[in-house]
Amino acid sequence: MPLPPRWLRRLLFAPAVVGLAFVVVTTLPIWALLAAAASPLVPGRLRPLRLLWIGCVYLVWDAAALIALFLLWVASGFGWRTRSPAFQRAHYVLAGWFLRVLFWQARWTLRLSIDVVGTDPDTALPGRPELVLCRHAGPGDSFILIHGLVNWFKREPRIVLKDSLQWDPAIDVLLNRLPNRFIAPTPERGEETVRQVGHLAAGLDDNDAFVIFPEGGNFTPKRRLRAIARLRSLGMERMALRAERMRH
């Protein structure tokens, strides 16, 4: 489904999320009773209740972020100074606060634990911008990464993301105000994609981190076969043969 224009997302999606969060919170006891009744039928310890809770937390988190972002927009002169250094920093600080809350709940509800292997990345090149190449590892992996960069290593990430992530109103508003790029991953727009990524990478300063996911989406055998078939349909036989030799 094509992404709606930005003005429609701002006028319709953002208020809808805030309204939905209000409705869900006010009817939460009913949903909790239904989830508790379903829990004995589902493997795992109170899994429906825990999933309901983290879903509600995320919805309220999204709505609260949108309200905070609206207040920042008003304080910046109705968007006039959102690109100024002070307001750019304010948006990174806001992102750090909200990610702390999200991971506090994820640890408690989903028993999330994060192991950091190796040394602090800032010990290698302190005071220098960093290039962060990432792989996908399941739901929430991007949030974990940005949480670590912002809250553990005090970095200001510039992220290359899929344009479909703009369906989430809080991600849409926050990351479009900061130096990030939402990319439509299609071969037909390859040159434009390269130009946008290059423009985003220009001018990195001492506390920036340039974040990119070279593999694209999560790996699955079917997705791999579809990608190879697409290369062949575009007449890229050599690339298709090369892709067939790749394990992932």
Res 216 pLDDT > 70? no
Helices (H), 76-162: 85-110, 141-147
Instruction: Name the band, by pLDDT with cuts 50, 70 and 90, for residue 18.
Output: very high
Res 191 pLDDT > 90? no
Which whole-number Å values give the CA distances from 157 to 11, 28, 123, in the listed order? 27, 35, 18
Residues 6+ apart with CB under 8 A from 61: 98, 101, 102, 170
Task: Report pLDDT for 171.
Answer: 95
Q: What percent of the chain has pLDDT over 90?
A: 63
Q: What average pLDDT score do residues 220-246 get? A: 91
Instruction: Name the band, by pLDDT with cuts 50, 70 and 90, for residue 166.
Output: very high
Higher pLDDT, 91 or 193: 91
pTM: 0.84
Q: Is 19 helix (H, G, I), strand (E, B) or coil?
A: helix
Res 187 pLDDT > 70? no
Residues 122-149: tens digit of each pLDDT: 776 678 899 999 887 766 888 999 999 9
Task: Report pLDDT for 124.
Answer: 65
Res 217 pLDDT > 80? no
What spatial distance separates the first Cα and last Cα of the chain, rounded to whole Å?
27
Q: Contact at 8 Å (CB) between 60 and 101?
A: no
Res 41 pLDDT > 80? yes
Task: Report pLDDT for 99.
Answer: 96
